Amino acid sequence: MTGDQMKETAARIVETALSEGAGTAEVDVAENNRFGVTVRNGNIENLIESGSSRIGISVSVDGRKSSATSSDLSEESIKRMIREAVELAAFMDRDEYFGLPDPEELGSAGIDLGIHDEETCSATADRKIGLAMELEKMACALDGRIISDGASLSSGSYSSAFANSIGFCDWYSQTWNSLEISCAAADRPARGPNTGKKQSSYWFSTSCRFSGLEPIESIASKAVERTIGKLGAVKPKTCEVPVIFDETAARRFFGSISSAVNGGNIYRRASFLADRLGEKISSPLVTLVDDPLIQGAPGSRPFDAEGVRTRKTTVVENGILKTWLLDSYQARKLSMRTTGSAGGISNFYMKPGDSSLEEMIAGVDEGLLLTELSGPGANWSNGDFSQGGQGIWISGGKLAYPVNEFTIAGSFLQMLSGISAVADRFEWKGPLSSPAFRIDRMTISGT
Amino acid sequence: MSGFSGDFGVPEEDFRRVISAALSRGASWGELYFEHSVDNRITMEEGIVKEGIKSISMGVGIRAVKGEGTGYAYTEDLSIGKMMQAARTAAAIADSGPGSGPAAIRESRCEDHYPVTSATTEEPLGNKVAWIGEAGEAARLSDPAITKVTVTLADSIRDIQIVTSDGRLLRDRRPMTSFSVSVVAERNGNRQIGVSSGGGRMGPEYFTEIKTPRRHGMEAARQALLLLEAIDAPAGPMELILAPAESGILLHESVGHPLEADFIRKKTSAYTDRLGDLVASELVTVIDDGTVRFDRGAINFDDEGTISSSNVLIEKGVLKAYMHDRISADFFGVPPTGNGRRESYKHPPLPRMTVTYLANGDSDPEEILKSTKKGIYCKSFRGGQVDISNGDFVFVPIEAYMVENGRITAPVKNLSLIGNGPDVLSRVTAVGNDFTFSDGRWTCGKGQQVPVGVGLPTIRISEITVGGSEMR
């Protein structure tokens, strides 16, 4: 469907919902087109190409709310879906905080965000397959020990029209591209029964624009370096040392923080930050921003999932917790105003500092460069943190040897307060990105 | 009502045409995976039933396979024109002359491992709201320290129809009930979360035969209150005792994933080329079984039409078999094991676990505890993650205690356990005789989400790294 057709459809379904007895209605019509290829050892291993559509309807009857989604866009199915939603609403309790957003909040940012790229749609399958083939070939050529776990290119477009019963109706479209390679290499454990031990890693690039992807030479060399760099990894001693989170580990850490500042988790009291608005929660080096209006960034959008105009929000400024990320329901629950964050974070990042990664490493006598975190042990509800890790040991200010099979633990508040350096750059890797940073002291559990 | 008869309204003639199109460029295997799913979710928060959501989706995924290559396309429009277009897209994985489609299609039947009389999806809304209310009330009334309670009832029915290029048609109706209570307990600035969840491929009898909503509510509250008293966990290597049932997550992560044969075929798993090797203590027998009745991870046949079975992966410590989909089975020249699973029609199948468990042993669980001087005892888990290539896995307990001189003492919090699959399984020093399946609450993510089951008797591991924050 064209944008206008999608808008018309959304507006028409709103009308139908009102005529079927809904007091308020919100309708989202979405279309996805997706292409994906994975090549391994020079052959295509997976090729996927498809399009799909979906509509979502939320209705309320006398403050009672229900929703329905369906992949069937036929008139008859939509009518049935609306009737069922209205019927379901009757079984819900009345929620005095429920309502559509304030009309003056509704609207579109009104600027071209540069998130739709024609080339992503027009580039041929052969060109995309060729890029993945080249990437794999290049990685394997860099080091004979590399076992390819596949190079993939996925790309696609997403368009969404949103309409509600107080007059909002708009549409946007965005494209995405992701290029990735995963590698493994045989390792030899010093002892023990794990004679088949290998090491693996990956690197990827993502962009709204097909031409915005990182050059394949750079993706290949980072993936190979991260894989080969893990060979011979040992388990470190149990100790307390400074830890540098590289960008990959930093993204995972701030992913938890983005959940802890989500308005839903605040009113549910399921966040360690719940009572700390206006307080110093972190080292002054930390400024966290959610900005949906960055040109060409992966999470940019002109309006949020309930039609509220998007805007930049500074969540933490120089260590002070300034606000939550809120949709209009959460805002009402907390007596605040929406931040245009319905649907989740947009481009959430930590503002770069003024150290280079090399300087941060040089400043550590004995410590750890953390390159991967694993497991569900980051508990942003109570503030506890204990996760599995992999990385490179730092000795005398230099990268010394790889380490694995250890955990790092502490509490989020201690960790945030202990951030003593922030790197001066980062790359966009999806809606959540962060520069590397250093925490002065954490517990490492190993041998 | 699910509002779906189980029939996708596609004539047999169309099945044959579409499969022939999928094989038209020389693919050796193809299948059509039709799926209609209805998902319902009702949530209660802060004492009110806040939102009901119903989702319906229907589509067909069409796959063409040649060697290790897969071509895949899907469509939500089941007209012959759209299906032919998708089939031609999938066919492009191969590039030789046309293969032959099936001459005739026959319906295959198999045993039903989840014969429910009625699905929760068909239950009157009033009953669902009442169960949710009972759980919420039980949690709230447990203690004044309980400040928030969230109760969710999710149910689904998935109608599946698979037509294969070897001329079989299989139909399945997969019910699911999932119930979850999550509470926040707060005291003097200390905030803890307690969760109790369960379910299975069952109807409303789950609430009478397995666990009542009330018990879920009380259990979530008990756990949160316990955690208010917990001390920070120590750091360093320690002895570990795992309680029955949920601890099966250890197997799922430590050997389950690395024995999925796509990683073996690609030679990226630590267990590649290790069939016949001793990879665990002789006390360890590990089974993956899609036929466990009413279990969340059960399937009558997998998502490429292989009938489910029980497969011994590790027998008395010796690696016996990997978990295969059709592609890896063909690659190794063995029969598929019924592990080809997918999240929905939008995804091609991959080797995945069903219900993975460690077989019963003969030790008395009391004795296992009594003979442990110092260690950690774990009862329930948040989940885990594994690095397939080096075998390192993490799993995160929710309810755990110190063990001192053969007795369970203080509850501990904030810990991950990290180990290496082959190392840890060779350190299993006792296996209890109290085997139990976990209540159905696990979803496994490997790019695609699928429901799985786990189970385990009490076991002891002589050493694992406990990742707490306290240096002792």
Q: Is A75 helix (H, G, I), strand (E, B) or coil?
A: helix
Entry field: residues in chain A: 447
**CB contact, 8 Å: A1 with chain B?**
no
Q: Which residues of chain A have pLDDT under 50?
A: none
Distance in Å, alpha carbon of A371 to nearest chain B alpha carbon:
13
CB distance A269 to B184 below 8 Å: yes
Rounded to whole angstroms, how far apart are CA atoms B124 and B116? Answer: 16
Best mutation target, A405, A412, A447, to test chain B (most B CBs within 10 A): A405
Same domain, B103 and B239: no
A181: CB partners within 8 A, 6+ apart: A135, A136, A139, A148, A149, A150, A151, A152, A202, A203, A204, A219, A220, A223
Cβ atoms of residues B436 and B390 within 8 Å: no
Helix (H, G, I), strand (E, B) or coil at A180: strand
A28 and A149 fall within a common domain: yes
Is B465's CB within 8 Å of A50's CB?
A: no
Q: pLDDT, tens digit, for every residue of A78-116?
A: 999 999 999 999 999 999 999 999 999 999 998 999 999
| H runs (alpha helix) in A231-292 | 247-260, 263-267
The three state secondary structure string of B346-409 is CCCCEECCCEEEECCCCECHHHHHHCCCEEEEEEEEEEEEECCCCCEEEEEEEEEEEEECCEEE
Structural contact between residues A387 and B415, judged by C-beta atoms closer than 8 angstroms: no
With beta carbons under 8 A apart, name residues in chain B contacting A88.
52, 54, 125
Pair B221, B261 in one domain: no
Q: B321 burial class (0-12, 13-18, 19+ CB within 10 angstroms)?
A: middle
The dihedrals phi and psi of A223, each to the nearest 5 degrees, come to: -65, -45
Number of domains observed in the structure of chain A: 2
Is A387 part of a structural domain of the chain? yes
Q: Distances in Å between the alpha carbon of A200 and those of A37, A135, B93, B260, B418?
A: 21, 17, 27, 16, 18
Domain boundary among B209, B228, B247: B228
Q: Is residue B446 part of a domain?
A: yes
Distance from CA of B53 to the nearest CA of A (A): 5
CA distances from B113 to B102, B199, B297, B309 (A): 29, 15, 11, 11
Tokens for A442? 């954490």
CB-closest option in A50, A150, A446 to B75: A50
Can you list the positions of beta strands (E) in B138-203? 146-164, 168-187, 190-200
Q: How far apart are CA A147 and CA B269, in angstroms?
A: 11
Pick among A66, A88, A204, A407 to test the B interface (most B CBs inside 10 A): A407
Q: Which one, of A412, A22, A425, A235, lies nearest residue B236 by Cα? A: A235
Residues A246 and A344 in one domain: yes
For chains A and B, CB pairs below 8 A equal: 286
Q: Which of A65, A149, A184 sits opposite B51 (nearest CB)?
A: A65
Residues of the domain holding B191 = 12-228
Asked whether the beta carbons of B65 and B305 are under 8 A apart, the reply is: no
DSSP H helical ranges for A229-319: 247-260, 263-267
pLDDT tens-digit series, residues A140-196: 999 999 999 999 999 999 999 999 999 999 999 999 999 999 999 999 876 778 888
Residue A152 lies in a domain: yes
In Å, what is the CA distance from A231 to each residue of A199, A201, A391, A397, B206? Answer: 6, 11, 11, 21, 49
Minimal Cβ distance to B55: which of A69, A270, A408: A69
Residues of chain B neighbouring A71 (CB-CB closer than 8 A): 56-59, 76
In this structure, the answer to whether residues A170 and A268 fall within a common structural domain is: no
Q: Pick from B211, B228, B245: which residue ends a domain?
A: B228
Cα angle: A88, vertex A93, A98; to 5 degrees: 95
Same-domain check for residues B386 and B258 = yes
Are residues B299 and B345 both part of a single domain? Answer: yes
- A381 and B278: CB-CB below 8 Å? no
Q: Which of A175, A198, A228 is the last residue of a domain?
A: A228
Query: CA B375, CA B110: separation in Å to the nearest integer?
Result: 47
User: Which residues on chain B are in Cβ contact (under 8 Å) with A235?
Assistant: 465
Residue-by-residue pLDDT tens, chain B, 472 positions: 446 877 899 999 999 999 999 999 999 999 999 999 999 999 999 999 999 999 999 999 999 999 999 999 999 999 999 999 999 999 988 888 887 778 889 999 999 999 999 999 999 999 999 999 999 999 999 999 999 999 999 999 999 999 999 999 999 999 999 999 999 999 998 999 999 999 999 999 999 999 999 999 999 999 999 999 999 999 999 999 999 999 999 999 999 999 999 999 999 999 999 999 999 999 999 999 999 999 999 999 999 999 999 999 999 999 999 999 999 999 999 999 999 999 999 999 999 999 999 999 999 999 999 999 999 999 999 999 999 999 899 999 999 999 999 999 999 999 999 999 889 999 999 999 999 999 989 999 999 999 999 999 999 999 999 988 877 6
The closest CB to that of A67, out of B51, B58, B269, belongs to B51
Distance of residue B361 Cα from the nearest chain A Cα, in angstroms: 23
Which chain A residues have a beta carbon less than 8 Å from that of B386?
374
For A366, residues 6+ apart whose C-beta sits below 8 A from its C-beta are A241, A394, A395
Tell me which of B49, B268, B417, B471 to substitute to probe the interface with A (most A C-beta atoms closer than 10 Å): B268
Instruction: Flag whether B1 is in a domain.
Output: no
Which residues on adjacent β-strands are paired with residue B40? Answer: B54, B155
- Say whether both B98 and B121 belong to one domain: yes
Q: Are A40 and A126 contained in the same domain?
A: yes
- Report pLDDT for A285: 98
**Separation of alpha carbons B39 and B50, rounded Å:** 17
Asked whether B443 and B454 are in contact (CB, 8 A), the reply is no
Domain-ending residue, one of B195, B210, B228: B228
CA distance B318 to chain A (A): 12
Query: What's the full length of chain B, in residues?
Result: 472
- A318 and A398 fall within a common domain: yes
* Strands B374-386, B235-242: pairing kind: parallel
Minimal CA separation from B424 to chain A, in Å:
10
Say what the pLDDT of residue B2 is: 46
Same-domain check for residues B98 and B115: yes
Residues with Cβ within 8 Å of residue A439, at least 6 apart in sequence: A242, A243, A244, A245, A410, A415, A418, A419, A420
Q: By the CB < 8 Å criterion, does A89 face chain B?
A: yes
| Pair B240, B313 in one domain | yes
Q: What distance in Å separates residue A84's CA from the closest CA in chain B?
A: 9
Alpha-carbon gap: A110 to the closest alpha carbon of chain B (Å):
32
- Look up the CATH number of the domain holding residue B224: 3.30.2290.10
Closest Cα to residue B398, out of B238, B122, B193? Answer: B193
Q: Which domain holds residue A331?
A: 239-445
Q: Which residue of A has its CA nearest to B88?
A: A49
Which two tokens mark B215?
């018990």
- State ipTM: 0.93
Residue A70 has its nearest CB partner, among B42, B57, B413, at B57
